[in-house]
Each structure stands twice: as C-alpha cells, then as structure tokens.
Amino acid sequence: MKILAIFVLVCMICLSMVAMAQQDTMSQQDSMTRREMGPPEWTFDDVAELSDWQDYHNLAPTSAIIKLRDSKGNERSVLKIEATGDNPYIYPGGSVPNWEPFSGYDHEIIYIGVRVKESDEWQVDYIISRNEEYSDTRSRTFMVEATKDFVDLQFEMQWNDMISGFRIHPGANRNKNTEIDYVSLRGPVLVTQAPRKLATTWGRIKDLF
C-alpha cells in the first residue's frame, strides 16, 4: 500500500511540474501574441516587460515585478511604483515608445488594474506625433479612489487621432505607493484563479499510510 501511495505521489508531482511548465510556456506565448496583435498592453506576467517602464520623473526606480495575492486568493504580478516628488509620471513603453502608433478612434479607453491607498487625481497626457512635446492641451484627468483591493478602471480618453505616445501621472502625492496589475488598450485583463496547492494533495496522500 505504501509503495502504491509513493508511486501515486511521484506521478502527481511529475504531472504538476509538467502542467506548471506548460502554463508558463503558454503564458509567455500568449503575452507575445497579444503584444503582436494590436495596441500596447502590459500584464507584468513576463519580467521582460519591466524594461518598458524605465522612463519616469519623480518616481523611485522600478526594479522588480512583485507577485502577490489579492483578497480572493488570486495571484497577481504587479508593478509597484513610489512617488518621490510632487509631479510623478511614467511613460509606458518608454519616452520614445517601443510600440507602433494606434488609432484613438478604435481604442479610446485605457484599461488599468490598480490598487492605491490614497485617493488622488490621475492625469494621462498623450501625443499624436513623435515630434511634438507633451502638454496639458492633450490630456485627461481621472479621480482614482483608495481601495483595499485591486479595481479595474477605464480611462475614457476621447482621443480622436493616431496616438504616438502617452504618459501616466499617478496622482500628485509624494511618497505614495501605487500597485499596477495591468495597463491595456485592448480591453480589461482577466485574473485567473490561483492553482490548487500541491500541499493539499500531499496531505490527502499521507492519510493512505
């Protein structure tokens, strides 16, 4: 009986490892496919996306993507940014964007999953040519309320042109932490349920001994 239980345990561990490897591969392929098929999107499931968020002002260096669980037990890969001055902003994809211009007519909403501990007014500036400067004449402001958990927000930009770049001001409060789960011009990003822990299965197998 013990030999059978050990054999079952080994098989389940192997299957779990194979499933995790397949899930990681599919996640990377899905990230690459979504990036190639339209306007920009960042889910922070791939650490390579961190390089797209290195141009900023009045923010602490973005040096890591953090994995955490929300109140529902879902695992999230999060970009955490901290304001160090009164006018923080960051350029998704860089100050010279690494993504192609997209149609503001077809993609007029910025979808963002975020959690903040302090309510604040956010601002999004945009440009319609890589040769122009950012200014308040092309910007929108949005009130982001403090929440205990992540929320899915929609910033309706009403930009009716080809968009060549944008930057996000996550409020104006110094020393404020902001956790960003995703930023997308394609639609809200669904959070998958956390996989069942192997420890639960092991606990059941131990009962066989």
Tell me the C-alpha to C-alpha distance, in Å, between residue 69 and each of 48, 191, 194, 195: 21, 11, 9, 12
Residues 76 and 66: their CA atoms lie apart, in Å, by 8
Q: Which residues contact 38 (CB under 8 A, 6 or more apart)?
A: 102, 107, 185, 186
Q: Which residues contact 145 (CB under 8 A, 6 or more apart)?
A: 116, 119
Span 89-125, pLDDT tens digits: 999 999 999 999 999 999 999 999 999 999 999 999 9
Decide if pLDDT at 193 tops 80: no
Decide if pLDDT at 19 tops 70: no
CA-only gyration radius of the chain, Å? 21
> Which has more confidence, 181 or 20?
181
Architecture per CATH, domain 40-184, reads as Sandwich (2.60)
Decide if pLDDT at 11 tops 70: no
What residues form DSSP beta bridges with 182?
113
Average pLDDT, the chain: 82
What residues form DSSP beta bridges with 168?
90, 124
**Residue 78's closest CA among 64, 94, 88?**
64
Which residue matches tokens 């299965």?
201
**Residue 122's closest CA among 172, 156, 79?**
172
> Which has more confidence, 15 or 84?
84
Percent of the chain with pLDDT over 70: 74
Q: Which residues contact 1 (CB under 8 A, 6 or more apart)?
A: 208, 209
Which letter does DSSP use for residue 53 in this model?
G
Residues 11 and 30: their CA atoms lie apart, in Å, by 28
Q: Which residues contact 164 (CB under 8 A, 6 or more apart)?
A: 97, 101, 127, 128, 129, 130
How distant is the alpha carbon of residue 69 from its chain centre? 14
Whether the Cβ atoms of residue 156 and residue 122 lie closer than 8 Å to each other: no
Residue ranges per structural domain of the chain: 40-184
Decide if pLDDT at 206 tops 90: no
pLDDT band at 33 (very low <50, low <70, confident <90, very high): very low
